[in-house]
Structure 1
Amino acid sequence: MTFVLAVDDDSAILRTLTINLRARGYDVETAADGRSALQIVDERMPDAVILDLGLPDIDGLTVLKRLRGFTQVPVVVLSARHESDDKVEALDEGADDYVTKPFDMEELLARVRAAVRRSSAGATSIVVEAGDVWLDVTERRATRAGEDVRLTPTEWHIIEVLARREGRLVRQADLLHEVWGPGYDRETNYLRVYLAQIRRKLEADPARPAMFLTDPGIGYRLVAPPG
């Protein structure tokens, strides 16, 4: 079942979207502000996002930028902003489509379907195998020596950022920005704590990691040594 996250501060629009999407067999979750939307995505990756730009806390463009820092989930902007500059900016930031309010429900749903189809056609799974560790980053499934390993959403987010650049250095500031947002630059203690947790769960010897490596004072990298 296709999972759609609808983000809008207008409760009437959220109700309308929920009713129409569920009537067509979609699994739907809603958020009335940007922070709630990002928390939902962190816990469960949707198949598509319908995103308003005029949110009460974080502007929709900021939400879009944060999403594009770690995922290519299809995003259809649904906004009362009609100006060409707004549309161009949203599309430049990675929106898949732009629909203005008031909108036709059938047209919106057709655009969501098209965005999901395009995403599915171009989707590539991120799978990492290293020794007895197997990580399906796309599906967020992990095993070690054949046993399931439970990782938190934040741990998965860190692993995804590193896995997308497997073997390459990811600087501390870049990792903080992608996982916690652009307001985080100096909280390197967050990275130390979470990398220690990841190593305890996945490394054979967490004190001498072979997968999740540290470049002291610079950043981290994920390598996949042979078994």
Structure 2
Amino acid sequence: MSALILLVEDDPALLTLLQASVSYGGFTSESVASGRAALDIFRSRSFDAVLVDLGLPDLDGGEVLRKLREMSDVPILVVSGRDSERDKIDALDRGADDYIPKPFLPGELLARIRAALRRHQSQGASKEGSSPDARDPIWVGALKLDPFHRTAELRGRTTVLSDAEFKILCALATSGEDVVSKSALLKTLYDSDAAGETRIVEVYISNIRRKLRSIEEEEVIFNVRGRGWKIVIPAT
């Protein structure tokens, strides 16, 4: 059975494009044009993923996102014309799994949906089918990464990460102090389906840095111009 996706978009032309895109990708969809309608239908039906705009006519899209996340852990992808880093970080903080700026390429949109669904299915299988210690924490120097709870801990202080943020931090932490390229981090998130031209990695890195600064004063993620990022983790 194909995944059922809730589309929350008040622009008729963009909604038509979203509907055509997800249908072409083999998904089915239901659509609403307001935040309140989105919350109502989400309470009454079971969806596999949500695509939500931030510029809704009745409720702030970020608030709708937050309430959807409180009700479910299904993938939520923001599709918005707001393209500032602050908007992206705020959406990710409120529980978005991904952020897709308008205008979007249908192929990239479908790749992001498939990747989000795979991550969600993989996470669910791990929680349901594994023994309690099958996802033991990973220690890299003083950094403790907990895959089950998606947390990072340094010196006894803990911060919670989104699924995508956790995957990026794991990729950096397990690389030692080697530089990890943007394309490698994109592949970590989207496998081979990702379009290479996107700033989403930079947004995730910015968010991870901010969260780590809340538990560790010293910067641990560094940009290596033209090459990518590396992590330097305190030894103790």
TM-score, normalised relative to structure 2:
0.51
Pick closer, same or farther for the CA change 1:126–1:27 going to 2, 3 Å.
same
**Who is 2:136 aligned against?**
none
1:70 paired to 2:71: yes
Q: Secondary structure at the match of 1:30?
A: strand
Shift of 1:24: 2.5
Equivalent position of 1:155 in the other structure: none
Q: Show the counterpart of 1:51.
A: 52
1 CA distance for matches of 2:125 and 2:62?
A: 26
Distance in 1, matches of 2:113 and 2:8, equals: 14
C-alpha separation in 2, matches of 1:114 and 1:80: 22
* Alignment pair present for 1:123 and 2:129: no
**AA aligned opposite 1:96:** D
AA at the equivalent of 2:15: L
Q: Deviations over 1:161-206 (max 9, x none)?
A: xxxxxxxxxxxxxxxxxxxxxxxxxxxxxxxxxxxxxxxxxxxxxx
Alpha-carbon distance in 2 for matches of 1:98, 1:77: 5
2:40 is equivalent to residue 39 of structure 1: yes
CA distance in 2, matches of 1:23, 1:86: 29
Look up the match of 1:99: 100
Partner of 1:95, secondary structure, is coil
How has the CA–CA distance of structure 1 residues 48 and 93 changed in structure 2, closer, same or farther, with 3 Å as cutoff? same
Q: Larger radius of gyration, structure 1 or 2?
A: 1
Tell me, yes or no, if the aligned pair for 2:8 and 2:52 is still in contact at 8 Å: yes
1:10 aligns to what?
Answer: 11
SS in 1 for 2:88: helix
Q: Shift of the alpha carbon at 1:20?
A: 2.1
CA drift of 1:40 comes to: 1.2
State the distance in 1 between where 2:122 and 2:69 align. Answer: 19
C-alpha distance 71-39 of structure 1, shift in aligned 2 (>3 A): same
Separation in 1, partners of 2:38, 2:61: 10
Cα separation, 1, equivalents of 2:126 and 2:32: 27
SS in 2 for 1:69: helix
Runs of 4+ in 1 over 6 A off after TM superposition: 124-127
5+ residue gaps, structure 2, are 129-236
Q: What letter is aligned with 1:23? A: Y
Asked if structure 1 preserves the Cα contact closer than 8 Å seen for 2:69 and 2:95, the reply is yes
Give me the whole-angstrom Cα distance separating, in 2, the residues matched to 1:31 and 1:63. Answer: 13
Q: Which amino acid aligns with 1:71?
A: S
- Number of equivalenced pairs: 127
In structure 2, distance between residues paired with 1:104 and 1:70: 29
Query: 1:23: how far off?
Result: 2.5
SS for the counterpart of 2:96 is coil
* Aligned mates of 1:125, 1:84 — CA distance in 2: 32
